[in-house]
Amino acid sequence: MEKTTFHYQPMCSAPHCDAAAVYKVAAPWSNGKSRELKNYGLACEAHRDSQLALAQLHRQGLKLAEGETIGPVGLYELAAGKRDAELARLPDH
Ligand SMILES: [Zn+2]
């Protein structure tokens, strides 16, 4: 795997945590024309499960506009220089 340096260091979104983020918490979103990831925050190794649970709560309360679809929230491995669409999704557990 290619090693690259982050231009900036993404941090975990959990309150009072200043650890480096390892995962993006996101759900695949589409409006029928374009697809992207709806971002629910970033998580370090220690907070990935709690951040995922929090995002799943937010996801349930989300109101979608007509034509919009959103998939289940999951964890995506952050990788420097990669677009959202290229991030690897961790298997759901
Ligand atoms: Zn954290």
For the chain, the domain total comes to 1
- 66: CA distance to ligand 1 center in Å? 35
- 68: CA distance to ligand 1 center in Å? 31
For the stretch 50-86, pLDDT in tens is 999 999 999 998 899 999 999 999 999 998 888 888 8
Residue 66 lies in domain:
23-86
Residue 35 lies in a domain: yes
Residue 57 lies in a domain: yes
What does the chain look like in DSSP terms, one character per residue? ------SS--B--STT--SBP-EEEEEEEE-SS-EEEEEEEEE-TTTHHHHHHHHHHHHHTPPPPTT-EE---EEEE--TT--GGGSPBPPP-
**Alpha carbons 31 and 68: distance in angstroms, whole number:** 4
- 16: CA distance to ligand 1 center in Å? 8
Residue 12 lies in a domain: no
- 45: CA distance to ligand 1 center in Å? 7
For the stretch 3-19, pLDDT in tens is 555 567 899 999 999 99
